[in-house]
Amino acid sequence: MQWRPERYAVIVADDFGRSSSVNLAIAEAHDRGILSAASIMVGEKAFEEAVSIARNRSRLSVGLHVTLCSGKSVLPHSEIPNLVDVGGCFEGNPSLAWIKYGKRILQKQLDAEIGAQFDRLEEAGIQPAHVDSHHHLHMHPMLFAMICRHAARRGIQWIRIPNEPLALVFHGRDASRGALPFVEWAALRILRMCNSSKIGAYGLQALPRAYGLSRTGRLDEQYLFDLLPQSDDHMEIFSHPDIATESGRKELEALTSSAVRDRLDALGISVTGYRQLSHDTLPLNTEMANWL
């Protein structure tokens, strides 16, 4: 089937299963708003609740949120002693985790844990349609090919590649972060170039744009208004709704805003999930030049 001419947006919520407050926000954002997909953390305390929510919402597309920092492992400490503490907790600092996972001696343990996370989601009766990761650690050169390989074995077609134009990164930025947004943007651009050939090699695809990194924890209605007219590409927008935090509630408000829905309609942008796109895709190599 050929790619349809309309513009598409996959609206994703991360951290599904991390807590009941996140799960409830995701359910509401899907039921009353524009949320079409969620990325689930299989080692967290509210995982089973998230599975129940997903099963009762046939149009909610679910993917795996690979977790290798700031979270809990699926495998016990005895099997991955160099990755987690005795309580099964990964390194809490994403930057330190990034440095740590550059050690080849950890490769077998990382591969085993990643496979176990995919397995746990499938054992719960959910076939994931996409994959991404907590704090975007899947972009790590050591981890990217591992995750692509596990995804391809399970017939998953989509992986997130964060990609925002530089102008949007600096538009409405938080001044307290200084030059960090630019550093993140530059690093991810290099990583996109390094990892792009691996996507096609494993038969996966990525949408040309994936927005949200520069506004993590600060996504609001105005951001979506500013973003939507700027992108002529099919896109992903990822978010972090949570009814327990002020920032999470603001993101929920944006995802359930009737004004945002009207804006999407006016711009001719159809909201869909990765599962719905899986049988209606454009080969990656024809898009590659547009987003590297």
82-128 pLDDT, tens digit each: 999 999 999 999 999 999 999 999 999 999 999 999 999 999 999 99
Give the domains, in start order, of the chain with CATH numbers: 7-291 (3.20.20.370)
| CA gap 23, 39 in Å, rounded | 11
| CA gap 86, 91 in Å, rounded | 12
| HSE value, Cβ hemisphere, 13 Å, CA-based, for 149 | 10
pLDDT digits (tens, 9 = 90+) for 211-254: 988 777 789 999 899 888 877 779 999 999 999 999 999 999 99
Q: Among 21, 38, 18, which residue's Cα sits nearest to residue 30?
A: 38
Q: Among 31, 79, 76, which residue's Cα sits nearest to residue 56?
A: 31
The answer, yes or no, to whether residue 139 has pLDDT greater than 90, is: yes
The answer, yes or no, to whether residue 56 has pLDDT greater than 70, is: yes
Residue with tokens 């993140």: 184
CA angle in degrees (0–180, nearest 5) for 204-207-211:
130
| CA gap 249, 132 in Å, rounded | 23
Q: What percent of the chain has pLDDT over 90?
A: 72
| CA gap 32, 284 in Å, rounded | 32
Structure tokens, 193: 């170039």
Q: Among 139, 119, 259, 263, which residue's Cα sits nearest to residue 189?
A: 139
What single letter denotes the amino acid at residue 111?
Answer: D
Structure tokens, 204: 């996966």
Helix (H) / strand (E) containing 98: helix 94-100
Residue with tokens 């050939």: 197
Q: Which residue has the higher pLDDT, 117 or 190?
A: 117
